[in-house]
């Protein structure tokens, strides 16, 4: 095994995060004009860059960063993670007496289908490959203290979502809790596979963006 070049890993973290930050700004500026395709591009482009970098520059298999073949049990694991993330996120909202009627959304089949696909194949896949795969691994190369690496991952993930989250305890809590759940699960597993995390992340976003609003529409109007 070749020795780890920590300075190179730090540079890789900076470059990867800078690319994500640039694409986030791009979405904020041109998102309303480009619509869904700008969002898709902003997720798949950095994934393509990372995959090519791992394969061509580092000459490593994608499995070394957690991108492995999906197994049947990964689906159940992922759905469980998504439900856990959703429950943990909703706890403070229930405590403060959240008015769920504000989330109401009338069912729209094309929107539900497109949003669900977007949540799984763009958000879930890309963000886990980038943050829990590439960035977390590179951070572990720099610092072997796992809880510090998790905190750094949390901060980077929050920074990328800064513009789309409420700037207060609720927004930070949601990101922190979700990243903590995903990182703990990934780091505690003997088989370091991102597949359950990708499924869990996509399912969580679908619950928040589609299932919960439609449920509220029918039962809390």
Q: What is the largest CA-CA distance in the chain?
A: 60
Identify the pLDDT of residue 192: 92
Residue 105: is it exposed, middle or buried by C-beta count within 10 angstroms (0-12/13-18/19+)? middle
Tell me if residue 144 falls in helix, strand or coil: coil
Nearest to 42 by CA among 51, 31, 32: 31
Q: Which stretches in the chain have pLDDT values below 50?
A: 1
pLDDT tens, residue by residue, 126-168 = 999 999 999 999 999 999 899 999 999 999 999 898 877 666 6
Identify the pLDDT of residue 140: 95
**181: Cβ contacts below 8 Å, ≥ 6 apart:** 81, 84, 85, 88
Tell me if residue 66 falls in helix, strand or coil: coil
Identify the pLDDT of residue 92: 82
Structure tokens at 77: 């694991």
* Helix (H) / strand (E) containing 83: helix 72-95
Rounded to a whole number of angstroms, the CA Rg of the chain reads 18
Alpha helices in the chain (DSSP H): 6-34, 36-52, 72-95, 109-118, 125-127, 136-142, 146-160, 169-188, 195-206, 212-219
Please report where in the chains the tokens 């991952």 appear, as a residue: 153
Q: What is the dihedral of CA 195, 201, 128, 175, to 10 degrees?
A: -150
Identify the pLDDT of residue 90: 86
**100: Cβ contacts below 8 Å, ≥ 6 apart:** 212, 216, 220
Identify the pLDDT of residue 1: 43
**179: Cβ contacts below 8 Å, ≥ 6 apart:** 131, 150, 153, 154, 157, 158
DSSP 184-206: HHHHH-SS--SHHHHHHHHHHHH
Identify the pLDDT of residue 141: 94
Identify the pLDDT of residue 163: 73
Q: Whole-prediction pTM value? A: 0.92
Length of the chain measured in residues = 221
Structure tokens at 170: 């609720």
Cα–Cα distance for residue pair 100/93, rounded to 1 Å: 9
Cα–Cα distance for residue pair 133/115, rounded to 1 Å: 24
């Amino acid at each position: 095994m070749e020795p780890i070049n920590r300075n190179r890993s730090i540079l890789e973290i900076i470059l990867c995060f800078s690319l994500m930050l640039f694409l986030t700004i791009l979405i904020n500026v041109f998102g309303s004009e480009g619509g869904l395709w700008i969002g898709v591009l902003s997720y798949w482009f950095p994934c393509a860059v990372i995959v090519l970098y791992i394969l061509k520059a580092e000459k490593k298999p994608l499995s070394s960063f957690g991108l492995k073949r999906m197994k049947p049990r990964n689906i159940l694991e992922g759905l469980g993670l998504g439900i856990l993330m959703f429950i943990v996120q909703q706890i403070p909202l229930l405590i403060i007496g959240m008015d769920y009627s504000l989330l109401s959304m009338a069912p729209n089949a094309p929107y539900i289908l497109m949003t669900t696909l977007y949540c799984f194949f763009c958000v879930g896949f890309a963000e886990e490959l980038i943050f829990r795969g590439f960035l977390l691994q590179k951070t572990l190369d720099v610092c072997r203290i796992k809880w510090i690496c998790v905190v750094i991952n949390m901060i980077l993930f929050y920074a990328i979502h800064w513009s789309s989250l409420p700037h207060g305890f609720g927004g930070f809590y949601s990101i922190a809790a979700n990243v903590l759940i995903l990182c703990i699960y990934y780091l505690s597993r003997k088989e370091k596979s991102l597949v359950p995390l990708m499924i869990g992340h996509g399912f969580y976003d679908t619950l928040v963006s589609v299932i919960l609003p439609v449920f509220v529409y029918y039962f809390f109007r």
